[in-house]
Structure 1
Amino acid sequence: MSVCVSCQKPLEVELEPDSDTEDVQMSASYSKAPAAAPETVPDDVHLNCGCHFHWDCLLSAYQITECPSCGKNLSSTSPTGDQQVLCILNNEGGLQENLDILPLLSEESYLKAYPNERKCRAFLEFCREGDMQAIIGMITGDSDDEDEDEEMGDDDNAGTKDVGIDALLRYQDPIGEMQSGLHAAVQTQSREVAWLLLLLASNLPLLEFPPEVFQEAEAQGIMRGLTEDKTDIRSLRDANGKTAEDVAREVGGVWATGWIGNGRLAI
C-alpha cells in the first residue's frame, strides 16, 4: 500500500466506533477476549504530480496550486476557462476521478489565514441548508461551540469567539461571491431562515411579518433588538451587485410572488 508523502503512514483512516461497538469492546476487555481490529477506510488524495496525501495532511501542508512535497504545479484550465486542481480521491465515499479540489483547498487556506471567519462561514452554510436549530444555536450561544473548539485546536480557533451576533447576521462571504445569509437562504428556498434573518437583521416593519414568525421566535426565546442604527440585511449586495430580493426574482419557486417592492416575503 502507498503511504502519505507527508506523514509516511498508510493511506487509510480509522473509523470512530459507535456506541454499540464501544460496548462490545468493553465487554471483550473484561472477558479477556481479543478486541476486534479497528475498522478502516481509504483516505487517499492522489495528486496529478503522482504524490499521495491523507486529506488532513494535504490541508496542513497545502500551498496554492503547488504540491507541498515535490513542488510541481498542480493547476490546469477547465473547459470553462477556470483554474482547477484535479485529483483522484479515494475515501469513505468511494473513488472519485478527476475531482476538482481547488475550491476546498482555497477555502481551507483562507480560513487558516483568517480563522475568525470559520464561525461566520459555518453560519452561512447553515443558512444555505435551512438548518434552523443550528442557526438559532449560534445566535443564542447555545450551540456546540465548546466541543468544536476542542476539536479545532488553539491555532485554528484563534479569534473565533470574537464574532458578534450583528456581524454574524450580516456577514458576507469574501470567497463566495460576497453572499450574505439572506442571499444563501433565498437561493436555496429556505424561507424559514429568510424570515428569521429579516426579523433579526432588517428594518422591515413588524406588521409585515406573518404571526407564525413571532410564534416561532418566541418559542426559541428570540427577540428583535434595535436595528435602526445597523445595516439592513436587505441592502447587502453580492459580488454581482444583486440584493437577496434580486436573487429571489431570479430563482422563483417559493419566492415567485414573495418579494414585493418593500422586501416582504409572501407566506
Structure 2
Amino acid sequence: MSCAKCQNPLVLEVDYSDDEDVSMGAGSSSAAAAQNTQTVPDDVALNCGCHFHWQCLIDEYQVTECPSCHQNLLTPGPNGGQQLLCTLHNEGGVQENLDILPILTEEAYLHAYPEDRISRAFLELCREGDVSAVVDLLKSCNEPDSDDEEMDDEPAIPKKSMDEILRYQDPIGDMQSGLHAAVAGNSREVAWLLLLLASQLPEMEFPALVYQQAASLGIMREDQTGKVDIRSLRDGQGRSAEQLAVELGGVWHGWPGSGRLTV
C-alpha cells in the first residue's frame, strides 16, 4: 500500500545518527548511515479508504474533503460539532478513531498565515502560566532577525510587534485573547503581567510584587494612550475575560467587579 499523494510506501526513515557518538573512517560512512537509519510506519488511513503519509496529508489538506478522492471526511462529533476520524499508525503504534480535525485545521491555518505562529504560541504560554516564557517571547519581538533567517531562500515571515501579539485573538480558537487564555488556565501571574502591559488599569491597583517581577524579567509598562485595552476584547461567544472568570470561579474569586478584568 502506498501514499495517495507521493505514491511511496507508507513508512518513514528515521536517522538516529545524532543520538550516537560514532567515530569511523570515511570508507565506513555508508555502513554507519545504514545502521543508524530505521524504518517506521507512517500511515494515516482516512475514513474514505485513502492512505497518506502524515506530512503529505498536512501539505494537501483542504479542510472538508480528501485530497485524493475528494470525499467529504467530516462526521458529526459526540458534542454536536464535527470530527475527522482516522486510524493513525506511526512509531508509537496504532490509534483508531482518532480525531485529527483540530490539528489539521491549525496546520492549514498556519500554512496560510505563518506570521500567526508566534501569536498562537504566545496564547499557549499564557494558558500554561509560564510567565518567564511569555516575557521572553514578547521581548523577542524587538530583536533583529538572525543572519540565518535573512539568508534563507524562503520568503521572510513578517514579524509582529509586541503590541500586536499582546492583543492577538485566535481566529481558530474561539477568538480568545491572551487574557482569556490566562483566565482559562487559572494563571493569575500571567493575567497580572498582561494587565500591566496591555491595559489601562491604574498603576495603584497593581501589587508591588507585580512591578518587581516585571522589572526582574526586564520588561516594563509602556504608555497605553490610544491602545486597545486588553480587558475590552471578547471571545467568539461574546465574553470578556471577566465574564469567563465569573463562569470559572476558583482562583478568580474577588476579581470580578474589582475593575481588574473589566474596563
Asked if Structure 1 and Structure 2 have the same fold, meaning a TM-score greater than 0.5 normalized by the shorter chain, the answer is: yes
Instruction: List gaps (5 residues or longer) in structure 1.
Output: none
Q: Secondary structure at the match of 1:154?
A: coil
- How far residue 48 of structure 1 moved from its aligned partner, in angstroms, is 0.8
Residues 1-267 of structure 1: matches in 2 within 5 Å?
2-15=1-14, 17=16, 20-21=19-20, 23-24=21-22, 27-29=23-25, 32=28, 34-35=31-32, 36-141=35-140, 154=154, 158-159=157-158, 161=159, 163-263=160-260
Relative to structure 1, is the Cα distance of residues 129 and 12 closer, same or farther in structure 2, using a 3 angstrom cutoff?
farther
8 Å CA contact retained: 2:231, 2:261 = no
Farther off after superposition, 123-132 or 174-183: 123-132
Identical aligned residues as a percent: 55
RMSD over aligned Cα, in angstroms? 2.9
Residues 187 and 149 (structure 1), Cα distance of their counterparts in 2 relative to 1, 3 Å cut = farther
Aligned partner of 1:105: which letter? L
Does the 8 Å CA contact 1:189/1:254 hold for their aligned counterparts? yes
Whichever residue aligns with residue 154 of structure 2, its letter is D
Q: CA deviation at 1:166?
A: 0.7
Cα offset, 1:114, TM superposition: 2.2
* Inter-CA distance 237–44: structure 2 relative to 1 (3 Å threshold): same
Normalised TM-score (structure 2): 0.85
- Which runs of 5 or more residues in structure 2 are unaligned? none
Give the CA deviation at 1:234. Answer: 1.0
Shift of 1:3: 2.8
Deviating more after overlay: 4-13 vs 247-256:
4-13
Q: Distance in 2 between matches of 1:153 and 1:242?
A: 43
Deviation at 1:148, TM superposition (A): 10
Deviation at 1:115, TM superposition (A): 2.3
Distance in 2, matches of 1:112 and 1:232, equals 30
Shift of 1:230: 0.8
In the alignment, the residues of structure 2 paired with residue 207 and residue 178 of structure 1 have an alpha-carbon distance, to the nearest angstrom, of 30
Q: Distance in 2 between matches of 1:148 and 1:79?
A: 46
TM-score (norm 1): 0.84
Q: CA deviation at 1:113?
A: 2.2
Q: Does the C-alpha gap of structure 1 residues 215 and 94 become closer, same or farther in structure 2, counting only changes over 3 Å?
A: farther
**How far apart in 2 are the matches of 1:68 and 1:173?**
26
Amino acid at match of 1:206: E
Q: How many residues align?
A: 257
Mark the CA change 1:17 to 1:171 in structure 2 (over 3 Å): closer, same or farther: same
Larger mean Cα displacement after TM superposition, 213-222 or 12-21: 12-21
Task: Provide the C-alpha distance between the structure 2 equivalents of 1:258 and 1:193, rounded to a whole number of angstroms.
Answer: 14
For 2:184 and 2:120, the matched residues in 1 are separated by 16
Alignment-mate amino acid for residue 122 of structure 1 = A
* Cα separation, partners in 2 of 1:244 and 1:15, compared to 1, 3 Å: farther
